Homo-oligomer: A and B are copies of this chain.
């Protein structure tokens, strides 16, 4: 997992005077788009997360490649980014390692901590197969978008995604991100269908939202995620709630 952080961003947004909100929104969004396009080079995935802190997965890419991203950002944007890379047995542990790289180098609001770039490997782990679970809300358009206000649809979907991401993180070591619309993507360790069943049950019980999920596995996030998207299409067509693009045997 890769943790990306805009250096000293909070102070920059208010120095010397608070900057116009729409300029910041546009800056953050385009910067993330650049990051997303960069991860695409390696068939990776990137997530906007909180915008000042972004998350990526690029199994198979040499951690050194992110120096190139840092240079590109410095050449094209008014801010710089730090990059921590973590390799570990689960996405959670890997992200914690990646975050640790940045935290150990100094505060996110330390003006002297700029363009950090480091890689931390936990327990000699190596980047192996990626499992992606792609969730969406069953008939979100019919039950939410076309029916209630966008604010209420937003509350409902965000609440479901929040329950989902906390469960996936706490119980299963997965990193889950909202990716727009009614979609969320989890970078998972190997999971069994009964695990995902239980997670979907939890979300339904706590928020009333019915999720469906497609699962893929592959050497890269894109390979796994593309299979997961096809598997989710299968759910949409058949009404199945959980579908894996590969044989998902209970182990």
Could you list which residues of chain A lie within 8 angstroms of chain B, going by C-beta atoms?
3, 5, 9-10, 14, 17-30, 32-34, 36-37, 39-41, 44-53, 55, 68, 71-72, 74-78, 92, 95-96, 99, 103, 107-109, 141-142, 145-147, 149-155, 157-159, 162, 165-166, 169, 175, 179-182, 185, 221-222, 225-226, 229-230, 233
Can you give 27 A-B contacts (C-beta < 8 A)? A10-B141, A14-B233, A18-B229, A18-B230, A18-B233, A20-B71, A20-B75, A21-B45, A21-B222, A22-B39, A23-B36, A23-B75, A25-B36, A25-B179, A25-B180, A26-B37, A27-B33, A37-B72, A50-B182, A74-B78, A76-B78, A77-B77, A95-B150, A95-B151, A109-B141, A151-B175, A162-B162
- B49→A22 contact, CB < 8 A: no
User: From DSSP, what is the main secondary structure of chain A's interface residues?
Assistant: helix
- Minimum CB–CB distance from A98 to chain B (whole Å) comes to 8
Q: Copies of this chain, how many? A: 4
A222 to B71 Cα, complex, angstroms: 14
CB distance from A217 to the nearest CB of B (A): 15
Residues of chain B lying within 8 A (CB to CB) of residue A108: 141, 145-146
Residues of B with C-beta under 8 A to A158: 158, 162
* Chain B residues, Cβ within 8 Å of A221: 21
Chain B residues with CB under 8 A of A23: 36, 40, 71-72, 75-76
A185 and chain B: residue at smallest CB distance: B21
Given contacts A76-B26, A108-B145, contact A226 B99 (CB under 8 A): no
Residues in chain B near residue A50, CB distance under 8 A? 150, 153-154, 157, 180-182
